[in-house]
Amino acid sequence: MNYIIIEGLAFALPLFIIAIGGIFSERSGVTNLALEGFQGFGAFAGAAAVMAISGGNLAGIETPMFITAMVFALLGGMVFSMLHALLCIPFKANQVISGVVINILATALTAFLTSQFNTVLFGKPTNKFVLGICEKFTVPFISEVPVLGAFFTDVYYYQPIIIAAALVASYVLYKSRFGLRLRACGDNPHAVDAAGISVSKLRFIAVMISGALSGLGGMCFAYSISASFSPTIYSGYGFLAIAALIFGNWKIGPTLLACLLFGFARSGGYKLAQVLGLTSAFADIIMILPYVLTLLLLMFFSSTNRAPRALGEIYDKGKR
């Protein structure tokens, strides 16, 4: 049980912060299928910054480089998300197509840039940055409590950062004037415009926030799942985050529960494969459990979901 909780949290929390980014974008009215691209490019920016500063030698400087990676991942995801914002808001492109294209672009671009980066700096034309596993800590005394203590055992350094970021994001979205206006953009943008507030500006900022949070989540995956960055490590996680926020009805609290469910399903699948001693072929089948669970949840609960009323609609100031 401890293994399922520890590994489930390590997967669920990065997924959660990516989903929060999606909530910000979609509550403003911009459909965002580009979360996977944002997290990939953000992770690339963070990993590239670490490799450039350290020269590829991370021994003894893991913590400063970890902080550097988080900062550059936020900035990288934010900058890359501006492409989606530009296409969807001022140029009024189809938001679904824009998201799909940006995901494809991110995969190809990060593969090319990583290979070129390694070739120039290290003379090795590989599309992978080896980062190492993020450091962990265990909370004394509480970690010794049965079951509950697993939540405080072998905690990655990025997990408290994600929890803090999620609390700030929740306050901004639900308690601040900016959050009220952002949510109004997704439900009644003409009312926002009538109040003298720029709908385009709010939506642009919301997409940039989604890019920053997705970049942070992508960097966390790079530091935990494979201890490296490559264009393939985040494949599918962006869409899993989208499924989580839809299942959570575009609300942060229920979305957290959905992410935890996916995380525990994933770690539970790993544990089941180990206990049964399955070969790699059968173990891979069990690993699809989170995605099967996603399909089932959407199948049975999507009818009760209520998306923002203006989600996906291109705002036209002349229409009422």
In the chain, where the domains are located:
2-133+153-236
Instruction: Give the per-residue pLDDT at 280.
Output: 64
Instruction: Give the per-residue pLDDT at 61.
Output: 54
Q: pTM for this structure?
A: 0.93
Angstrom CA distances, 62 to 17, 27, 152, 233, stand at 23, 37, 22, 21
Ranges of residues in the chain whose predicted pLDDT is under 70: 56-62, 278-284, 286, 302-303, 318-320
Instruction: Give the per-residue pLDDT at 266.
Output: 83
Q: Which of 160, 173, 233, 127 is nearest to 10 (CA)?
A: 160
Which residues are within 8 A (CB) of 207 and not within 5 positions of it... i.e. 6 or more apart? Answer: 25, 28, 30, 32, 81, 82, 84, 85, 88, 89
Instruction: Give the per-residue pLDDT at 254.
Output: 92
C-beta separation of 41 from 222 below 8 A: no
Number of H helices, E strands in the chain: 12, 4
Residue found under tokens 């529960």: 257
Strand pairing class (129-130; 136-137): unpaired
pLDDT tens sequence across 187-202: 999 999 989 899 999 9
Q: Which of 221, 168, 160, 181 is nearest to 35 (CA)?
A: 221
pLDDT tens sequence across 279-298: 666 666 767 777 777 777 77
Instruction: Give the per-residue pLDDT at 148.
Output: 81
- Which amino acid would we find at residue 240? L
- The C-alpha atoms of residue 239 and residue 261 are separated, in whole angstroms, by 15
C-beta separation of 74 from 43 below 8 A: no
3-state secondary structure 100-137: HHHHHHHHHHHHHHHHHHHHHHHCCCCCCEECCCCCEE
